[in-house]
Structure 1
Amino acid sequence: MSDDREKELQQALAGCVLDSSWFYCVAGVGLAIPIGVRLKSYNPLVYLGLSGTLLDLLNGYNKCTKERAELRDYQLAVSTRAPRLCGLVGHARGAQARRLATGAGPDLGLGATLQRAVAFGPSEVAAFVRLTGDTNPIHQSLPAAQAAGFERCLVPGIMAASLFPALIGSAVPGALYLTQTLKFRAPVQVSEPMLASVTVSRISGRRLTFDTQLTDSAGAVRVSGSALAMLPPST
């Protein structure tokens, strides 16, 4: 959104353009009237009047060099003061990528584990199935879930497994998820506390292999698999 100074400069430019000569508009109307009378039509007035107005506006814009320069210079100054977030993120990402690729990082290396505890609530499941178009009623209808033999509604399996790339991508911004194998050992129920874990099992250059697991509060594995991610290039 433009700030007050930018709005002020924009208004000054607009005022300069509108205050310019309206020669072409007047000339167009003057020429259009006799033609329109002769043809018994308003079309000449519309066409020539609008054409003259556009020419006047364009001519006025070209004449307002001072106002245009002030607005352009201000917008340029504002843009150069803006934080260069992409550059900062890229630098941090590259540094972390180098630590991970060599296994020398204090937080992530061979055998290191990332974890996140989560319980998917009804509103989160509803948002996910709405986004994906999953119409299976066992995700939102308690009678349907109970008729299928479950105590509560079930979290979509892919929703539960989405915690694995989320863990890796959050730890290494810019990492590219390459492959993921999954085995759904038991369903996850809505609002059931779960623990997602990814463990570095192999490092080959910029490619890291992770063992992935989703376990319940008793430690039983609900979802397991293996993931391969490629780290961003070092900067």
Structure 2
Amino acid sequence: MRKLTEEKKEILKYGICMGVVLFIVNVIYIGLQKDRGFAETIMPYFGLILFGYAAAGVLFFAFYIVKEPKEDGLWKYCLKGTAGVYTIMNFMPLFFLAGVALADRTPVRMIFLLDAVVIGGFLIWDYRRVWIMSKKLNKKSVKTRVLLVDLEEAPKTVDEFAAQIADYCGKNRRTLEFISRGKTMEILMDGDYYTVEIEQSYSRFGPMYGMKFIQRK
């Protein structure tokens, strides 16, 4: 429950930040554009618009804590967790571009277009960050084989940790033998010697947990 609360705080923080950034960009545009009548009409609704952007951002990042369904399908592999965030993110610029095409006033078209540009820029920056990180990890793992398995939450006890390892090996039909148990597990997986440890990192989507399998010679 404590971890869930932490994730909810991260969702609120990042969702509201995204909404505020989109709102500020649009307010700057409204202040600079020539249609003063439009600006005067929309100004009384700034509070509602800010709330709408923030709510949309929070709902967007809330996909991160959706539990993975047991059955295979689109929901499991494309709309769950971080994969869900990226899937929805990929379609959001198209949604805003559709707004550009359907809007009947130039300022409204520009607002949709600016939203698409901001989110598209975020996508490009994020993909570049992941690409750079993957290159660094690949260089480090040339000599040592490392496997990282995502977890919904960090195991609280050694037994839970062992159960997570056994669950992974069972799902992937890999043989498993425990050599020693503790914060760092020593196992034989498919006859190869591995150490397994819990890895925790933070992203703009919230805390992320995983099991790191390190093959030892």
TM-score (ref. length: structure 1): 0.28
Larger Rg belongs to = 1
TM-score (ref. length: structure 2): 0.30
